[in-house]
Structure 1
Amino acid sequence: MTFELGVHSFGNTPRLADGSRGPTAQAVRDVLESIKLADEVGLDHFGVGEHRMRTMPLSSPTSIVNAAAASTSRIKLSTAVSVLSTDDPVRVFQQLATAAALAPGRITVSTTRK
């Protein structure tokens, strides 16, 4: 039996000292740093979910997976959620195929159809 441990994220925007939300761009940078750290400490999997809220601004999980594929060495990466009704399924496949070329054997996909 094999046991794998992983996490997922929608890229929560950081809270500032005054309680307000920080920039969504910081959330993107933070999730990429989280993926790199997860790779370094030996987690097996990191999933990135698509969401469209100021508090969870990762609207393009395939872009994050591609960036992470280029900057990690062993962790498996996936789109924890890809909403195909808001994207072209062929384009999602093409973007993940690019990630698979960067990180052979480490890319998976999860989708939601609404």
Structure 2
Amino acid sequence: MSKTISFVLNGRQRSVQVDDPEMPLLYALRNDLGLHGPRFGCGLAQCGACTVHVEGKAVRSCTFPVAQAAGAKLLTLEGLGTPERPHALQKAFIEEQAVQCGYCI
């Protein structure tokens, strides 16, 4: 039986229909909501490619059950800033010409 899980994602109220409330949050974010910031890396909560903030705390979404996100505020990379108003972290990457290795892409 399908269950509706609702939360605030990047400042917007969102909901997903899931058959398994224990499904990793990562799958709901990528497959159901079309986000590409959180990525699948290891599936073991070790590499950090899937990290999102849930109520201000960094969690590994590849092992975090979607049901635990119910009613929470979630923040992904897509919610940090915009091209017109980048987040301080994004500004620092630009100013320092920092690059990532691209392994998790």
TM-score (normalised: structure 1): 0.24
Higher strand fraction (1 or 2): 2
Q: Could you say which structure has the greater relative contact order, defined with CA pairs below 8 angstroms and 6 or more residues apart? A: 2
Higher helix fraction (1 or 2): 1
